[in-house]
Amino acid sequence: MTNQKISRREVLQLSAAAASAAAISSRAYCAENDSPSRVGLIGAGWYGKSDLWRLIQVAPVDVVSICDPDQNMLAEAVQIASERQKSGEKPRTYVDYREMLKERDLDIVLIGTPDHWHALQAIAAMESGADVYVQKPISVDVLEGEAMVDAARKLQRVVQVGTQRKSTPHLIDAKQQVVDAGLLGTIGHVEMCCYYHMRANGNPPVEPVPDFLDYEMWTGPAPMRPYDGLPHKRWWRTFMEYGNGITGDMCVHMLDTARWMLGLGWPDRITSNGGILVQKDGKSNIADTQNATFEFDNFNALWQHRTWGSPTDPDYPWALFIYGDKGTLKASTMRADFVPHDSNAETLHFDCVFEREQYPEDVTEKEIELNAAPATRRHMLDFLSAIKNRSRPIADIEEGHISTASCILANLSMKLGGRPLRYDSKQRMVIDDEEATGLLRRKYRQPWQHPFTA
């Protein structure tokens, strides 16, 4: 392939074509599936609802059940679902996902709860007979992820992970036209970063739990913190009790994208260091600064995040950089650029695809990530196709596990003073490191039981 400069007009034409293709795929799915899939949602917060609305946009589903421990959030989701779905029916409501799954009448379950719930809920949904769409990171500890992969394979369920960069139009184009076409030459280095100021660091007082929230159910297997405000308003992400910090939240996307673009499996070795170096006030216990090195056969992939200061490249504050001896690919959720090392060669630019005209409800939807909506729609269509064909989707649970567990191992390396960790996925242990192996499984709060039993 020869280098070519892609104009904005050509990008818009490609965007329109991609949107048309998505619409055609949606109509084809509708025509071939006369009986709408019965869908349940566990976790009716921001991204749980966002995933559900994208699914409704591309497939004739019946949303029959929604579960959330917050009655106010639950009521809002039920109202919007009844307005958006063709039947106009209001879904059944549940506070406890186990009661919802007891019905055993769901074809698809979407899981949009905080990270500490993903493993138990995904496995329970699979056991109820449903195929599952689970948000990333898939787990909070490594062995939860192993249990999820085991369940999917044993029960023969389709499980798609919400690492939708693999379904992002401009990143698909960049992979095909730059990486797959060999424009980078020999790849010798990868960098990933996030410099968003996204670390909540307040110090709110402890207060009574409101009547509309079942805080016991919200907490589940995680340690129960004193209640200091609604945790699901993104406050929970600032605590390691419920998630994996910025690395687990943001690196998992970029590492997964790098692995997809370059055909990578497990890292050979993982090292990380960092901590709370600048933002020392407040209650947050996640690192405000962290570096991680993921070692692969022929190169290293480096991660860095800072929740303070400025990004090194203002155009790429959350991004992936792939360096080859013939050029560099810069990639983010908003754009991508190929910069050749030969000054006589032309650059390639890829713009984010938006679909406001095809899906006008996107424009008025509260808190929507407009740039991510087209990717999520394609991700849902890929999920539905895998369900129909009983095949593995593009973001299969095993791939999501590798990306998630690698980030968790980076956090463990940081916790252990930065020592290198080599994970053996067959023996499910850290090689020659008994202490690190003991940290692969977190302690559950009673009466909840960890799903990994081997």
Q: Which helix (H) or strand (E) holds 410?
A: helix 397-415
Give me the CATH number covering residue 100: 3.40.50.720
- Structural domains counted in the chain: 2
Per the CB < 8 A criterion, the answer to whether 300 and 189 are in contact is yes
Q: Does residue 110 sit in the same domain as residue 214?
A: no
Specify the pLDDT at position 329.
98
Percent of the chain clearing pLDDT 90 (strictly above): 89
Q: What is the dihedral of CA 104, 133, 265, 183, to 10 degrees?
A: 150
Cα 452 to Cα 120, 128, 155, 353, 425: the distances in Å are 10, 18, 15, 40, 14
- Is residue 363 scored above 50 in pLDDT? yes
Q: Is 348 helix (H, G, I), strand (E, B) or coil?
A: strand
d(CA 62, CA 40): 9
> Any residues with CB less than 8 A from the CB of 243 and at least 6 apart, and which?
114, 115, 116, 137, 140, 236, 237, 249, 286
Spell out the long-range contacts of 298-302 with Cβ–Cβ below 8 A and sequence spacing 24 or more: 298/187, 298/188, 299/187, 299/188, 299/189, 299/190, 300/189, 300/190, 301/190, 301/191, 301/192, 301/255, 301/258, 301/267, 302/189, 302/190, 302/191, 302/192
- Is residue 14 scored above 90 in pLDDT? no
Does residue 137 sit within a domain?
Answer: yes
Q: Does residue 347 sit in the same domain as residue 217?
A: yes
Give me the CATH number covering residue 185: 3.30.360.10
Q: Does residue 191 sit in the same domain as residue 157?
A: no
- Is residue 8 scored above 50 in pLDDT? no
Quick one: average pLDDT of 339-345? Answer: 93
Q: Does residue 104 sit in the same domain as residue 218?
A: no
The partner residues of 142 in beta bridges, in order of sequence, read: none
pLDDT band at 50 (very low <50, low <70, confident <90, very high): very high
d(CA 233, CA 17): 37
Does residue 66 sit within a domain?
Answer: yes
Q: What is the DSSP letter of 250?
A: I
Q: Does residue 151 sit in the same domain as residue 287?
A: no
- Is residue 12 scored above 50 in pLDDT? no
As a residue count, the chain comes to 454
Does residue 108 sit within a domain?
Answer: yes
Preceding omega of 210 cis (within 30 degrees of 0)? no
Q: Does residue 232 sit in the same domain as residue 297?
A: yes
Quick one: average pLDDT of 273-284? Answer: 97
Does residue 380 sit within a domain?
Answer: no
Q: Does residue 244 sit in the same domain as residue 144?
A: no
Specify the pLDDT at position 233.
81
Q: Does residue 189 sit in the same domain as residue 329?
A: yes
Q: Which helix (H) or strand (E) holds 26?
A: helix 8-32
> Any residues with CB less than 8 A from the CB of 370 and at least 6 apart, and which?
354, 356, 362, 363
Specify the pLDDT at position 163.
98
Can you point out the beta strands (E) in 61-185?
Answer: 62-67, 92-94, 108-111, 131-134, 159-161
Specify the pLDDT at position 34.
62
Q: Does residue 138 sit in the same domain as residue 178?
A: no
Q: Does residue 193 sit in the same domain as residue 122?
A: no
Domain boundary among 109, 143, 165: 165
Does residue 368 sit within a domain?
Answer: no
Does residue 147 sit within a domain?
Answer: yes
Q: Which helix (H) or strand (E) holds 304?
A: strand 300-306
Does residue 36 sit within a domain?
Answer: yes
Q: For 164-176, write each residue's pLDDT tens digit.
A: 999 999 999 999 9
Specify the pLDDT at position 357.
92
Preceding omega of 208 cis (within 30 degrees of 0)? no
Q: Does residue 61 sit in the same domain as residue 157?
A: yes
Residue with tokens 């406001």: 356
Cα 436 to Cα 279, 405, 442: the distances in Å are 27, 13, 12
Q: Does residue 283 sit in the same domain as residue 341?
A: yes
User: In degrees, to the nearest 5, what angle opens at C-alpha 90 toward C-alphas 89 and 94?
Assistant: 145
Give the distance, in angstroms, between the CA of residue 380 and the centroid of all CA atoms in the same chain.
13
Range of the structural domain that residue 39 is part of: 8-165
Q: Is 351 helix (H, G, I), strand (E, B) or coil?
A: strand
Q: What is the pTM of this model?
A: 0.93
Which tokens sit at 280? 């020392």
Amino acid at 147: A
The partner residues of 213 in beta bridges, in order of sequence, read: 70
Does residue 453 sit within a domain?
Answer: no
Q: For 397-443, write each residue's pLDDT tens digit.
A: 999 999 999 999 999 999 999 999 999 999 999 999 999 999 999 99
Give the distance, in angstroms, between the CA of residue 409 and the centroid of all CA atoms in the same chain.
17
d(CA 7, CA 244): 40
- For residues 16 and 348, which has the higher predicted lDDT (pLDDT)? 348
